[in-house]
Amino acid sequence: MIFQYKFVTGEEVTVDVDFNPKISAVIMRQDEIERDKERRETRRHESLYKKCFETHKAPDNTEHDALRNIDIEALKKGIARLNPDEQFLINRLYLDAHTVTQAKLAVELGIDPATIRQRVVAVRKKLKQTLLKPDPA
């Protein structure tokens, strides 16, 4: 199996390693699974971002624009009501200029990816409940 590394400096290194064919097949399958997870995470991020923040203006539809702006403002207020850890999670996964996948965030924080998934589900549920409540102001 040949591994190719490309470093930030531009240096390229190729390493040829002999593996048992069964081990090689397992490694290749794990790589495929990881790439599939990354693609799914990216699609989820893009979908949420589009729902929340992209502004697709309909021509001459000021009512639509006004309602969309109200929705975005409500979402921002809802996020502001979350505790700092929950805000960090939402910002890091969906809103930052350089978002990350749940799997990468789990590695950064040194916790299990399943824990991140559980937290995301809980935060989304809490955010949904927050958005459905009337504003206390």
Burial of 45 (0-12, 13-18, 19+ CB in 10 A): middle
The whole-model pTM stands at 0.48
DSSP 135: P
How far is 113 from 11, CA to CA, in rounded Å? 32
**What integer is the mean pLDDT of 8-35?**
81
Identify whether 137 is part of a domain. no
Report how far apart, in Å, the C-alpha atoms of 14 and of each of 5, 26, 91 are.
Answer: 6, 21, 37
pLDDT (tens digit per residue) in 90-103 = 888 888 878 889 89
Domains held by the chain: number: 1
* Residue at 13 is within a domain: yes
Specify if 6 maps to a domain: yes
Domain of 120 in residue numbering reads as: 2-132
Residue 116, domain CATH: 1.10.10.10
- Domain-located, residue 101: yes
Nearest to 99 by CA among 131, 53, 33, 130: 53
pLDDT, tens only, 27-66: 778 888 888 877 777 666 666 666 665 555 545 566 666 6
